[in-house]
Amino acid sequence: MNSVFIYSSKFDTYSLGDSHPFKPYKVSMVYELCYRYGLFDHPWITIKEPLPATEEVLEEYHSREYLDALKGANSGSFDFTMINYGLGTSDNPVFKGVFDFSLLVAGATTMAAELLVSGEADTIFSPVGGLHHGGYAHAEGFCYINDIVIAIQRLLRKGHSRILYVDIDAHHGNGVQDAFYHTNKVLVLSLHQNGESLYPGTGFVDEMGEGKGYGYTVNLPLPEYTDDESYVRAFMAVYPSLVKAYQPQCVVAQIGLDTLKKDPLTNLRLTNNGYAQVLKEIRKSSSKLIALGGGGYSVPDVVRGWTLAWAIMNSIEPEDPYQGMVGSALYSHDRGGAENLYDPVHAISPVLRKDVDAYIDSNITSIREKIFPVLGID
CA distance 287 to 3: 11
pTM of the predicted structure, to 2 decimals? 0.95
133 is catalytic: yes
> Tell me, what's the pLDDT at 153?
98
Strand order in the sheet with 186-193: 45-48, 3-6, 123-126, 289-292, 250-254, 163-167, 186-193, 217-222
Contact 150, 57 (CB under 8 A): yes
Of 132, 133, 160, 192, catalytic: 133
Integer Rg of the chain from CA: 20
* Residue-range domain boundaries for the chain: 3-370
Each residue's pLDDT, cut to its tens digit, for the chain (378 residues) gives: 899 999 999 999 999 999 999 999 999 999 999 999 999 999 999 999 999 999 999 999 999 999 999 999 999 999 999 999 999 999 999 999 999 999 999 999 999 999 999 999 999 999 999 999 999 999 999 999 999 999 999 999 999 999 999 999 999 999 999 999 999 999 999 999 999 999 999 999 999 999 999 999 999 999 999 999 999 999 999 999 999 999 999 999 999 999 999 999 999 999 999 999 999 999 999 999 999 999 999 999 999 999 999 999 999 999 887 766 545 555 444 445 677 899 999 999 999 999 999 999 999 999 999 999 999 998
The amino acid sitting at 20 is: H
Give the length of the chain. 378
The CATH code that applies to domain 3-370 is 3.40.800.20
> Tell me, what's the pLDDT at 265?
98
For residues 168, 204, 142 and 50, what is the CA-based torsion angle, rounded to 10 degrees? 40
CA distance 70 to 64: 10
